[in-house]
Amino acid sequence: MQAEYSDIMIKDLRYGDSFDMIKVADTEGNEATLKYGASHTVLFYLSSSCTGCKDALRFVKRLQSVFGEDNLQVLLLWSDSIPVSLIEEYGIALKNCFSTGDSIVINTPTPTAYILDSKGSILYYNSDIKICMEKLYMQAAEEGLGEQFRLNASRYLIEHYEISDFETQQIIYFCMEGCPDCAAADDILENDDRKDERSLHYLYAYNDAEPSHERDEYALFKLVYDIEWYPSFLVLQSEEEYEIIGEIPVEMLIEELDRLAGRF
């Protein structure tokens, strides 16, 4: 039975508070305990009726792939019922999914991301998940994990775009709708004699509004590869090798791609 509003306990969590102060249930409705990572933990507070929360769900597997399970524990905490079928659709482990039930509400919007320490205490939180990811990444980068994350990201992108042939130059094209420099790069790439020797995989800015576009959700790859300019190009030479072409005169783009392909 749905709890009356007067029966609902509002939790106003602040920095330093621990999530251990909140009773949670697992996907079967049994009382459970949150398990935090030894290094980094991020908890997403979600609602099954929240449209933006679906973006966060799609993002979870990508985030976990980039950081690696040894470096990051991802927990999902619902303010209502846990949408098991949706979780399974996105390939998320049910063991990391919990609910506060219908008697406890955390006083923050959904989705909100929390960065926790190894005891579940809040280090940082924000309903702007992009900002929260920047904080999370900078913590990990200070530990010297940046290059490992870039290699993990490259492997993820190779799998995501189903790349198998490195005889063809494989390029992740960081682009932005309406960007004049991207339009100029498009023209040069389209009119190049060797365009059939390249495969372009478009990755649009995180705030792109076109549903058919593949977006860099919460700007994770922009962050990991330190992309500061649109257009930029991640040239994948193998699962272990990559080069980034950033801000260069657009007329030099083909020359730089040829250099990386070994054509002089």
Residue of 41, 36, 44 lying closest to 67 (CA atoms): 41
Tens of pLDDT, residues 71-108? 999 999 999 889 999 999 999 999 999 999 767 788 89
70-102 burial, b at 16+ Cβ within 10 Å, e below that, comes to ebbbbbbbbbbebbeeebeeeebeeebbbbbbe
| Per-residue confidence band for 7, with pLDDT thresholds at 50, 70 and 90 | low
SS (H, E, C) 85-152: HHHHHCCCCHHHEEECCCCEEECCCCCEEEEECCCCEEEEEECCHHHHHHHHHHHHHCCCCHHHHHHH
Query: Which H/E stretch holds residue 238?
Result: none
One-letter identity of residue 123:
L
Tens of pLDDT, residues 242-260? 999 999 998 999 999 999 8
| pLDDT computed for residue 261 by the predictor | 85
Q: Which CATH architecture has domain 5-141?
A: 3-Layer(aba) Sandwich (3.40)
Domain ranges of the chain: 5-141, 146-260
pTM above 0.85, yes or no: yes
Please tell me the distance from the alpha carbon of residue 252 to that of residue 57, in angstroms, as a whole number. Answer: 39
Please tell me the distance from the alpha carbon of residue 41 to that of residue 213, in angstroms, as a whole number. Answer: 30
Q: Report residue 159 as tokens.
A: 């799998």
Q: Which residues 6+ apart lie within 8 Å of 161 measured at CB?
A: 170, 172, 201
| pLDDT computed for residue 145 by the predictor | 92
The reply to whether domains 5-141 and 146-260 share a CATH topology is yes
Q: Which CATH architecture has domain 146-260?
A: 3-Layer(aba) Sandwich (3.40)
| Per-residue confidence band for 234, with pLDDT thresholds at 50, 70 and 90 | very high
| pLDDT computed for residue 8 by the predictor | 60
- Name residue, tokens 């058919």: 212
Tens of pLDDT, residues 157-203? 999 999 998 999 999 999 999 999 999 999 999 999 989 999 999 99
Distances (CA, A) of 183 to 122, 155, 173, 243: 43, 28, 12, 22
| pLDDT computed for residue 105 by the predictor | 81
Please tell me the distance from the alpha carbon of residue 129 to that of residue 144, in angstroms, as a whole number. Answer: 23
